[in-house]
Amino acid sequence: MTGFASEERSPTLGLILGFLITLAAVVAYSWYINRQITGLRALQNNLLDRDRRDSLQLLRIQNDLSSLALAMRDMLDNGEPYPLVAWSSQFQRIRADLEDALRKEEQVAAANRTPDQNEYLSNSVAQFWDASDRIFELARSGREPEARAQIRLSLEARQAALSTAVSRLLVQNNEREEQATTHIAAIYDGVEHQVYLFLAATLVAILVAGLYLIRFNRRLFAQLAALSDQRSELAQKLISAQESTLRYISRELHDEFGQVLTAIGSMLTRARKDVPEDSALAEDLREAREIAQNTLDRVRTLSQALHPVMLEEAGLESTLDWYLPVVEKQSGITIRYAKPGIPWMIDGDGAIHIYRVLQEALNNVARHSGANEAWVRIRCSPKEWEFEVEDHGSGLVHPGVQQGMGLVAMRERAELLGGRLEWLQPEAGGTLVRLRVPREKLNRHAD
């Protein structure tokens, strides 16, 4: 009797306990991931803000050094009627400003700067002012020819060495910012990958529990079906969170980095106006401004790639008109774009999902197909929209085998639209990705 009771005992209590443990693990892991991402975001903002302030002080130092160079040029000009000591007060003003800039720059200097670099900069500045003091002493004692010779032989060389050192520190700051951004992006990718793995493990655990529940207690089968129905909602929330993150990063790139790079370009332009056209410093300033402008262009391109603002402002058609030429330019693949029929408008969530599916399909063409030509076709019928991306490259492994996250996301987005996503093989070989979406579903998402 006891054995029979043991065999017929309901597993409900054990299943509830297992569910509670799983739920606690999900909550704890979600809290951990959220804390990691928040910490990384704070680290990113603090690091980049500190480097930005350090770069601004370095630019201030560089501007002071440029003023010294101009003053020394005037001192060596034989047509100037003034004695050398007349520039003493100007040197003192620049010295006070330069020392203030150096002091503030030392407070915000990057932690990974070597002591040798700090010592070299400090010693170079001290040696410059020592040489400057000796030159003015010679000038006051009536030995101006000798003082002018020392300017040519010593002071100008020290000023050039200081300018070079400051320029290298600026370049080092820029490189460090790029490395930090790349590193943080890699960490974000790793965290995202861990989230997917954890969700997969959770789904496997739920499946095992469901099979156990079905075997020992059929009355709980309806609850297992409800858990399976939640998959679509979970995918929608995950994709929404992904789009929200991409939108946030895109805005941060456009607003924060764009403003900083624009300010740097403006400062370089103003600095170049105070430098002779035929001087080496003018060429350096021009090159630095070109670097800043090129970086600004790349940041804007990356911002648009992460989340095109045009999707919200002009709809899917205008966004594709902009995006496809960008893909051609970046990948070197010729894209044949066909959209017969009257002009159309798709916006809202439907535009975002379709754009991401086409974007992932074109990325697969560029990365895996080896083709140098692709076709993008959009057709409209009274009942549905049809979107195709075709290439005649090496072809794609059947999506049911070892699906990558990109293919999974494409399928999830198609399901959210109530559409159907197909991977086909054209007669000429390669891959044809076709997405069909009912018009009524698109209208619902647009609303």
What b-and-e string marks burial along 182-203, b requiring 16 or more CB atoms within 10 Å of the CB?
A: eebeeebeeebeebeebeeebe
Domain total for the chain? 2
Q: Report how far residue 388's alpha carbon sits from residue 433's, in angstroms, rounded to the nearest whole number.
A: 6
| pLDDT for residue 374 | 93
Evaluated on CA atoms 292, 295, 297, 299, the torsion sign reads negative
> Which range of residues forms the domain containing residue 138?
12-304
User: What CATH number is attached to the domain comprising 410?
Assistant: 3.30.565.10
Q: Is residue 6 part of a domain?
A: no
| pLDDT for residue 334 | 92
On whether both 199 and 248 belong to a single domain, the answer is yes
On whether both 193 and 51 belong to a single domain, the answer is yes
Q: Report how far residue 163's alpha carbon sits from residue 169's, in angstroms, rounded to the nearest whole number.
A: 10
Q: Report how far residue 374's alpha carbon sits from residue 390's, in angstroms, rounded to the nearest whole number.
A: 6
On whether both 141 and 262 belong to a single domain, the answer is yes
Q: Is residue 3 part of a domain?
A: no
Q: Is residue 4 part of a domain?
A: no
- Provide the phi-psi class of 142: left if phi over 0, else alpha when psi is between -120 and 50, else beta: left
On whether both 259 and 274 belong to a single domain, the answer is yes
The amino acid present at 154, given as its one-letter code, is S
| pLDDT for residue 260 | 73
On whether both 299 and 322 belong to a single domain, the answer is no
| pLDDT for residue 390 | 93
Q: Report how far residue 317's alpha carbon sits from residue 314's, in angstroms, rounded to the nearest whole number.
A: 8
Nearest to 177 by CA among 300, 295, 38, 307: 295
Q: Is residue 322 part of a domain?
A: yes
On whether both 275 and 376 belong to a single domain, the answer is no
Q: From the centroid of its chain, how far is CA 187?
A: 13
On whether both 22 and 37 belong to a single domain, the answer is yes
Q: Report how far residue 91's alpha carbon sits from residue 71's, in angstroms, rounded to the nearest whole number.
A: 8
Q: Within 10 A of 20 (CB to CB), how many other CB atoms are there?
A: 10
| pLDDT for residue 335 | 92
Question: For 395-399, which contacts have Cβ atoms below 8 Å and span 24 or more sequence positions?
Answer: 395/369, 395/425, 395/429, 395/430, 395/431, 396/364, 396/368, 396/369, 396/423, 396/431, 398/423, 399/423
On whether both 289 and 170 belong to a single domain, the answer is yes
Nearest to 346 by CA among 386, 302, 305: 386
Q: At what angle do helices 156-216 and 12-75 cross, to 10 degrees?
A: 170
Task: Kindly state the helix (H) or strand (E) to which residue 376 belongs, with its residue range.
Answer: strand 373-380
Which residue, 261, 289, 304, sits at the end of a domain?
304
Is residue 72 a contact partner of residue 151, using CB atoms and an 8 Å limit?
A: yes
| pLDDT for residue 375 | 93
Q: Is residue 5 part of a domain?
A: no
How far, in Å, are 148, 205, 222 from residue 209 at the CA level?
Answer: 89, 6, 13
Which residue, 288, 304, 320, sits at the end of a domain?
304
| pLDDT for residue 136 | 84
On whether both 337 and 211 belong to a single domain, the answer is no
Q: Is residue 7 part of a domain?
A: no
| pLDDT for residue 401 | 42
Is residue 163 a contact partner of residue 275, using CB atoms and an 8 Å limit?
A: no
Return per-residue pLDDT of the chain as tens, 447 residues: 444 333 445 566 766 777 787 777 777 777 777 776 776 666 666 666 777 777 788 888 888 888 888 888 888 876 666 788 888 888 889 888 888 888 888 777 765 567 777 788 888 888 888 888 888 888 888 888 888 888 888 888 888 888 888 888 888 877 777 777 777 777 767 767 776 777 777 777 777 766 666 666 565 556 655 665 676 667 667 767 776 776 667 667 666 666 776 777 777 777 767 777 777 777 777 787 788 777 866 776 776 667 677 777 778 888 888 888 988 888 899 999 998 766 567 767 788 888 888 888 998 898 888 888 999 998 888 788 889 999 998 876 544 444 567 787 888 888 888 888 998 888 888 899 999 988 876 655 555
Which residue, 285, 304, 323, sits at the end of a domain?
304
Q: Within 10 A of 376 (CB to CB), how many other CB atoms are there?
A: 21
Q: Report how far residue 306's alpha carbon sits from residue 249's, in angstroms, rounded to the nearest whole number.
A: 8
| pLDDT for residue 409 | 81
Is residue 95 a contact partner of residue 136, using CB atoms and an 8 Å limit?
A: no
On whether both 326 and 287 belong to a single domain, the answer is no
